[in-house]
A = this chain, B = another copy of it.
Amino acid sequence: MGEVVSNRQVVLKNSVTGFPKESDFEVTTSTICLKLPEGSKKGVLVKNLYLSCDPYMRVLMTNAHLYFPIDFYTPPQVLYGYGVGRVLESGDPKLKEGDFVWGITGWEEYSVIEDPQKLFKINHRHDVPLSYYTGILGMTGVTAYFGFYEVCCPKEGEYVFVSAASGAVGQLVGQFAKSLGCYVVGTAGTQQKIDLLKNKLGFDDAFNYKEESDLNSALKRYFPKGIDIYFENVGGKMLDAVLVNMREHGRIAVCGMISQYNLEKPEGVHNLLNIVLQRIRVQGFEVFDYYHRYSEFLDAVLPLIQARKLAYVEDMAEGLDAGPAALIGLFSGHNVGKQVVAVAPQSSAV
């Protein structure tokens, strides 16, 4: 028998309508035996260190009135999502005690992960924070990297627009685009984020969409010659304004539409005829399709981080109890950069 310890957990109490509220969650204390359950053949027991707050999680909280063929959360249940953990015991021969992993885990102090095929083992480098595997070196980074280089088919000198530009994915896309010699403008919702985009993240320009009464005019100001590539994170009115500012053969990589997730009925987008007139490609994509190329991604991005050629902004909430507020904060733009929850923070030199 293993030691029985308390296990703090974030529970989603109910399906969510509209903006998620802290009262949709409950942080409770359960207990867990620090030993793999009998009968668990390939399970892995992990101590969770960092949890990732990602906009897609809102989609899983919804009631299944939508038509999506995805696995919604089934409340009440412990929330799950991407995270970084340390292996305490492994039934999978590819992992051993002490290994660090990233992948889907529970929002709790300890989790038993029954399908370790979905975990990535971290070859831990002491010069990179472990929390980065919730973001720039994890799902977020893979999304930004292949979303930009593969889905957008970018060329040097093209005009690139990024929404939610200081967010987890946007900040990376902008830097990838700059490194390729594109002209990059980002949009975000506070002056602090605009400053960050222009001063720290190297965007050519940036604007606060909340201060623009007419998004179409704003885009015409920042892109007098039009947009070649739009990296779409928000949807709705921004997409409508972008559509009338796209250049011929432009590409819209649809990563997400955070402005729509809390609406009972998504906003209507009206300017789709421009897809024909400008011969635009609108391509939805998901990170799952690129995980088999994770090592290629790491080889490209890890050296950039180590050489400090890639900036990265994290917003760290401390402790599981702060988790619900951090997650909810994504939808009001409260986070500055990648929102992470430190469950049991580790210095990089563990």
Residues of A within 8 A of B (CB): 59, 67-70, 216, 235, 239, 244-245, 254-257, 260, 265-286, 289
Instruction: Beyond the given A266-B273, A279-B283, A281-B283, please list 13 additional residue pairs across the A-B interface where CB-CB is below 8 A.
Output: A68-B277, A254-B272, A257-B276, A266-B270, A268-B268, A268-B270, A269-B269, A274-B284, A275-B283, A275-B284, A279-B289, A280-B283, A282-B282
Smallest Cβ distance from A24 to chain B, in angstroms? Answer: 21
Residues of B within 8 A of A216 (CB): 67
Choose among B68, B260, B279, B281 the residue that contacts A286 (Cβ–Cβ < 8 A): B279
* Chain A contact residues: helix, strand, loop or mixed: loop
Which chain B residue shows the least CB distance to A280? B284
26 pairs, CB–CB < 8 Å, chain A vs chain B: A59-B277, A67-B244, A67-B245, A67-B271, A67-B274, A68-B274, A70-B277, A235-B273, A254-B272, A254-B276, A256-B276, A257-B276, A265-B270, A267-B268, A267-B270, A268-B270, A269-B270, A269-B272, A275-B283, A276-B284, A276-B285, A277-B286, A279-B284, A281-B281, A281-B283, A282-B282
On chain B, the residues within 8 Å of A276 by CB distance are 254-257, 284-286
* Distance of A218 from chain B, by nearest CB (Å): 14
Whether the pair B279, A235 counts as a contact (CB closer than 8 A) is: no
Complex-state Cα separation, A252 to B216, whole angstroms: 26
